Amino acid sequence: MSLRPFRGSFPRRRVSRAGAALVLVAAFGWLPSPAASAAPAHRAASAPDERVAFRIQDERITESSGLAVSTRHQGVVYTHNDSGGVPTIYALGTDGRVRAALTLGGAQARDWEGIAVGKDGRGRPSIFVADIGDNLGGAWPYVTVYRIPEPSRLRSQTIRATAFKIKYEDGPRNAETLMINPRTNRLYIASKLFGGKVYEAPARLRTSGFNTMREVSDAPSIATGGAFSPDGRTCVIRTYFGARLYSVKPDGSPGESLTSIDLPRQEQGESVTYTADGTSLLVGSEGTNQPVYEIPLPEEALPPSAKPENAGTTSTTEDAEEGRKDADGPRVGLFLALAIAGAVAYGLTRKRGGTAGRK
């Protein structure tokens, strides 16, 4: 998420008010959505082992806002900057150094917020990057997802991008989460701020006209990143302070909440993906010289091949109750107060700002 001054026709005073409201809203961090609270709860994962998988050391990467594991190159993770720069995807090695910079020809980097690996219409490995940020909550009538083929040989190059224009069935919104189900190759976007929702793209994206996203499930408030597991059995959506794992329905869309996962403290955590074997999460943050942590998944979220033999599962009332506690009482109270204040400020800003700046 970037709160840089908007270079459109919005007066600076309105922009600053909107930015202040959004900063206040973002301050309350991880709150589960109503659906997450109502879903069958499991024991939350214990404090994560804060193992640093690697550190992003390239001076060109200052706002890493997405992570995606390569399907063609072992040990390679793709990332990108948030906004305002060159439309480039960086291929990182296991040491966190850039192995290749892939510039997207014909693309813009207005507010890139997510990245995922999928396939093109002919089944070839492809990289999708989402220009879906909208810090003013509806200033952009449509957003864009770009796709490039994943190169068979990693080298810095410019690759012509295919653009897909995206609209939501219930109107414009801010979003930072792009996910692609590896089983169906279907694209999902989770909206940010209050009452988060997951939206599903058409089964086949088209380059002409618009692709309308329809709501299929709830998402946590302040969703900043997400991903499907390599086998498509689960998916994860993170916020600034935590993450939540979901089952996946037979149709491929996110289903019931499985468990919550604690994440390490980060400067501005916005990225998450699964490791190639599906046993852990990789989580990153904006900022310079930022670590990417590897967080082991709880047993119930492991792929069948990785589960211990004869491992039993237990469920008690105490476990279920503990799984609902994503934060202690005082923290929730403070967060709710900040949330209400942020909502009021943001609502006043939208009312005064009207529809100015829309294109």
131: β partners:
144
Whats the size of the chain, residue-wise?
A: 359
Task: Give the start-to-end residue ranges of the domains of the chain.
Answer: 31-342
Concatenated DSSP letters for 19-69? Answer: HHHHHHHHTT--B--HHHHHSPP-PPPPSP--EEEEE---TT-S----EEE
What CATH fold (topology level) applies to the domain 31-342?
Answer: Neuraminidase (2.120.10)
Which residue positions in the chain have pLDDT lower than 50?
2-48, 310, 312-359
CA end-to-end span of the chain, whole Å?
21
pLDDT at 49: 61
pTM of the model: 0.77
Q: How far apart are CA 133 and CA 129, in angstroms?
A: 12
* CB of 142 closer than 8 Å to CB of 119: no
319: helix, strand or coil: helix
Q: How far apart are CA 233 and CA 167, in angstroms?
A: 27
Concatenated DSSP letters for 205-235? Answer: --SSS-EEEEEEEE--BT--EEEE-TTSSEE
pLDDT at 139: 82
User: For residue range 190-231, what is the model confidence (pLDDT) as tens digits?
Assistant: 999 878 999 999 999 999 999 999 999 999 999 999 999 999
pLDDT at 1: 53
Residue 95 CB neighbour total at 10 angstroms:
10
pLDDT at 357: 37
